[in-house]
Structure 1
Amino acid sequence: MNLPKVVADLVETQNSFDSVAYTHCFSETAVVFDEGKTHHGKKEIEQWIADSNERYRATMKPISFEENETESFLKAETSGNFPGSPIVLTYHFVITNDLIQSLKVTG
């Protein structure tokens, strides 16, 4: 599967639980929506993913990738320490200047 570099980097850093490298995939003003919460900017995103990595130890296995003029969509089998694992989640990206500006995770 041919993923944009920033999305491939995100998957790789998630699967190695590298919260700092994961955060480098985002712009300074990025926003993440996950589990009913919104995280603004790199500092909040790093805190969110570090906490998530500690609690869930989730890894991603890409299943499909689509994009249009404004958004990209990655479906991934996500496995970890949470009820119902593994599940398929959809990662909705807005990518600007090769960095993630927005990420929304849905079931």
Structure 2
Amino acid sequence: MSLSLPTPIASYFAADGTDGATVAECFASDGVVIDEKETYRGRAAIARWKTQASAKYDYKSEPVAVDERGETVLVTARVTGNFPGSPVDLRYAFTLAGTEIARLEIVQ
């Protein structure tokens, strides 16, 4: 089953398997990521976050459900990799700003 994701979110998941800089380009210049109770602001911080996460864990995320709620788009993704509890379904709460991601919060 193929999901219909808004373009910035589809770009994020496509970039997720590449490098931190490519992921960061999916975000607004003042974009925010909240992951594992840490906050990363701006593209440089987001690129570092993604680079560190990729170095720490070898993982793949596959969107399995999407729910648009006003300005928030909730995506559930099955994440598999070399981390405790794999696989796990994570919820990605995206807030979009035009063609870019303004905010992303990842929770279990």
Hey, which bits of structure 1, 4+ residues long, moved more than 4 A?
none
Q: TM-score, normalised by structure 2?
A: 0.94
Letter in 2 for 1:67: E
**Number of corresponding residues:** 106
Deviations 1:58-91 (Å, cap 9, x if unpaired)?
2111110111222000000011221001100000
Whole-Å separation in 1 of the counterparts to 2:58 and 2:99: 26
1:3 to 1, 5, 14: 5
CA distance in 2, matches of 1:5, 1:95: 10
Do residues 46 (structure 1) and 81 (structure 2) align? no
In structure 1, list runs of 5 or more residues that go unmatched.
none
Measured on the aligned residues, the alpha-carbon RMSD in Å equals 0.9
Q: Distance in 2 between matches of 1:58 and 1:96?
A: 27
Question: % of aligned pairs identical?
Answer: 28
Cα distance in 2 for partners of 1:17, 1:56 equals 13
